């Protein structure tokens, strides 16, 4: 599937994240792309909220590579913005950064891509919109098992297919 969404405000991004979280397969892997301030962490927070993680506990793992949030099942939050983080990834056991029991949400995922070959991924690209500081465009791509995510989002603004 490929789906494009207009997110008119941070609130709209939260609504999208809640729906993604509700429809995400238990071991879903979400790659979140987009420049600084595009809204990746904002979306992660909302996905986590839907997964019954306390949103206050969701912060970008700046000094750690992976944050693990407790909930009905654990949620892994990975941020590979720093080069050292991307390098450290290679040293980790897979279970330490790809969640064996629940979803894995990865910001700045480029370094992880070669290690995720053959995995079913939900790719979310967020982009700023010129002259509209609170608007974002989200493009989502995911194979068959992410069809439920598409359905959950399609009702939001009828954007794209």
DSSP state of 145: G
Which residue, judged by CB position, is nearest to ligand ATP in the bound state? 39
157 binds Mg ion (CB under 5 A): no
40 binds Mg ion (CB under 5 A): yes
Residues numbered 88-117 forming contacts with ligand ATP, rule: CB under 6 A: 107
Residue 70 contacts by C-beta under 8 Å, 6 or more apart in sequence? 53
Among 10, 92, 116, 120, binds ligand ATP (CB under 6 A): 10
42 binds ligand ATP (CB under 6 A): yes
41 binds Mg ion (CB under 5 A): yes
134 binds ligand ATP (CB under 6 A): yes
Four-residue CA torsion sign, 18, 43, 46, 29: positive
Which residue, judged by CB position, is nearest to Mg ion in the bound state? 41
Closest to ligand ATP by CB, 118 vs 158, is 158
Strand order in the sheet with 75-79: 2-7, 132-142, 121-129, 29-33, 104-107, 75-79, 66-69
SS3 for 23-63 is: HCCCCCEEEEECCCCCCHHHHHHHHHHHCCCCHHHCCCCCC
Among 36, 83, 90, 155, binds ligand ATP (CB under 6 A): 36
Catalog residues that contact ligand ATP under the rule CB under 6 A. Answer: 7, 9-10, 12-13, 34, 36-42, 60, 107, 134-136
């Amino acid at each position: 599937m490929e789906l494009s969404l207009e997110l008119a405000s941070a609130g709209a991004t939260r609504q999208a994240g809640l729906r993604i979280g509700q429809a995400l397969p238990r071991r879903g892997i979400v790659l979140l792309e987009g420049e600084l301030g595009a809204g990746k962490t904002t979306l992660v927070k909302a996905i986590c909220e839907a997964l019954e993680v306390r949103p206050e506990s969701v912060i970008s793992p700046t000094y750690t590579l992976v944050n693990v949030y407790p909930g009905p099942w654990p949620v892994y939050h990975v941020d590979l913005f720093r080069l050292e983080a991307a390098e450290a990834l290679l040293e980790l056991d897979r279970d330490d950064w790809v969640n064996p029991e629940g979803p894995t949400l990865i910001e700045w995922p480029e370094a992880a891509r070669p290690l995720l070959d053959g995995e079913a991924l939900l790719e979310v690209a967020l982009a700023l919109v010129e002259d509209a500081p609170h608007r974002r465009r989200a493009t989502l791509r995911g194979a068959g098992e992410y069809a439920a995510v598409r359905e959950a989002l399609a009702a939001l603004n009828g954007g794209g297919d």
